[in-house]
Amino acid sequence: MRVTDTSDLWWKSAVIYCLDVKKFLDSDGDGVGDLQGLATRIDYLAQIGVTCLWLMPFYPSPGKDDGYDVTDFYGVDPRLGTHGDFVEVVRTAKDRGMRVIVDLVINHTSDRHPWFVEAKRSVDSPYRDFYVWRDDPPPKNQQNTVFPGEADGVWTKDEKSGQWYLHSFYEHQPDLNVANPRVRDEIAKTVGFWLQLGVSGFRVDAVPFLLEVPEGAEMANPHDFLRDIRRFLQRRSSEAMLLGEVNLPYEQQVLYFGANDDGQELSMQFDFVAMQRLYLSLVRGDPAPLISALTARPELPVEVQWANFLRNHDELTLDQLSEQERQEVFEALAPDERQRVYGRGIVRRLPPMLNGDPRRIRMAYSLLFTLPGTPVLFYGEEIGMGENAEIGGRAAVRTPMQWSGEPGGGFSGAPRRRLASRPPSDGYAPEHVNVADQIEDRGSLLHFFRDLISRYRISPELGWGRFDLIEQDAPAVMAHSLTADVGRMIALHNFGDSPATVRFRLEGEPEGVSLVDLLGAERVDVGEQHDVSLELPAYGFRWLRVSRPGDGRLT
């Protein structure tokens, strides 16, 4: 790679920040965040170092599923603003060096969407085939695997016609029939519309469900539809990308990048496998589970990428762990049954799960930024926000952004969730979980994020490099390197609660090589045989750049 390649495939070295407009900042005092409020915080996000905003659904919606039940794919919820406000956000973000991507929720609509309203009027409605219907009753005791205990099955009877309609999610979210060419055309129009308003791509919701087609439908390969979206996207905007939600084992997940290994379907996918193994590693104080995931990742074409995350807007799913492993994580991070959901997930944010321990919190985020792939943050992570357990369910982690420590600092009046009581350490105190208290404090978690991101952004090998484990003898330490044409980075992370001595050899490097500590000020001694020995404190970490004679890299 060349450094200039990072502008062609910008998302491979991006810092993606996911936010819910209605929870971010209220500009008019009505208790709901809005686009005008977001616009006033673009500079805050730019100062952190964010390069891509991912906006969760802001479309018109009854709000039964936090906006994922859409009634107009082309609209803006009037509570949040107008199309003019949206364009101002995109324009201002781009002026500050940030692109914007938006949620593409095309697996289903709200049952109040005009298409479904018309479809229910008659079996002869031109919109009837926009959805999936059956004449015979569904099997008894049908299960809903997405929301077990919250949704009854996946078929609901339309009393007027006597037919049943499919809903992979909630009853009020009927599935679209992507085998219908008219539906595919409408989806393409939706993509084209938001591209025209300046977005740089889409986070595609629930991709495997999107590609499920009715039995007997005339659609030979559903993946062709995903390829068609990608081709249409790139005809309209050569820089635009698709970030897909595909929670499957690697051998199935890789097909969504491109069945022929050509990378012509999704541009990026969230790595659910590594995320779940990472939490198991945190609980055990042992990097082995995470290492097993990273070394099992399939080889990918250069044009596609993994997206790494520690938290998102949904439950922290552990569905790909074994039952024993899942219980192990539950007992350590979510000991109260109310902190669990669907028998597979956790509805907590990271800092409370780690008992507010600043060493573990910072180590986890350092690890996130050095994993091979692109880091994705959920709003509030940079200040250590916790969940609001009083709300319950997935909404517990979707609370208002905490801008100040004053009552109502999250603008909705929702009670603030403080981290578990723990003596402050290294400038991070549980009672200071808001922007106002951290922005002037150089020892705060917020400034730690700024430092990580600033180093990440001048280290393109982190997003582009080849991943290699480094052999060393400390079992609690994960040592790895990322190597690209522009250079090589080495990352060391101690998962254990005791100090560790790390010894390794720099293989394949020339004479005169040295290691520069990117998060400190010193160089690390390299022996005559290219051997390195250094100490890591409990939950310690180091970012080391390999400095070769005459390479001229910034440090």
Integer CA distances (angstroms), 422 to 279, 418, 419, in order: 21, 11, 8
**Nearest one of 491, 516, 484 to 365, comparing CA atoms:** 491
Residue 364 CA to residue 310 CA, distance in Å, equals 8
Cβ-contact 412, 31 below 8 angstroms: yes
Q: Which strand ranges, in their side-by-side order, compose the sheet holding 477-484?
A: 466-469, 477-484, 487-494, 541-547, 514-517, 523-524
Taking residue 485's Cβ as centre, other Cβ atoms within 10 Å add up to: 12
Cβ-contact 239, 10 below 8 angstroms: yes
Taking residue 4's Cβ as centre, other Cβ atoms within 10 Å add up to: 7
Residue 57 CA to residue 77 CA, distance in Å, equals 9
Integer CA distances (angstroms), 474 to 128, 285, 478, in order: 62, 12, 8
Q: Is 224 a catalytic residue?
A: no
- Residue 394 makes CB contacts below 8 A (sequence gap 6+) with 66, 313, 314, 315, 341, 347
Q: Which of 34, 77, 111, 205 is catalytic?
A: 205
Q: How many residues does the chain have?
A: 555
- Residue 461 makes CB contacts below 8 A (sequence gap 6+) with 482, 483, 484, 486, 487, 488, 489
**Helix count and strand count (H, E) for the chain:** 18, 22
Burial class (CB in 10 A: 0-12, 13-18, 19+), 202: buried
Q: Which of 26, 69, 245, 265 is catalytic?
A: 245
Q: Which two tokens stand for residue 537?
A: 């404190």
**Phi-psi domain of 139 (left: phi exceeds 0; alpha: psi -120 through 50; beta: other):** beta
Tokens 């085939």 — which residue? Answer: 129
Helix 358-370 and helix 445-457: axis angle, to 10°? 20
- In 396-499, beta strands by DSSP E: 466-469, 477-484, 487-494
Amino acid residing at 445: L
Residue 485 CA to residue 3 CA, distance in Å, equals 9
- In 410-529, beta strands by DSSP E: 466-469, 477-484, 487-494, 500-505, 514-517, 523-524
Q: Is 245 a catalytic residue?
A: yes
Long-range CB contact pairs, 518-527, < 8 A, 24+: 518/455, 518/459, 518/489, 518/543, 518/544, 518/545, 518/555, 519/366, 519/451, 519/452, 519/455, 519/543, 523/547
Tokens 């750049």 — which residue? Answer: 545
Catalytic residues: 205, 245
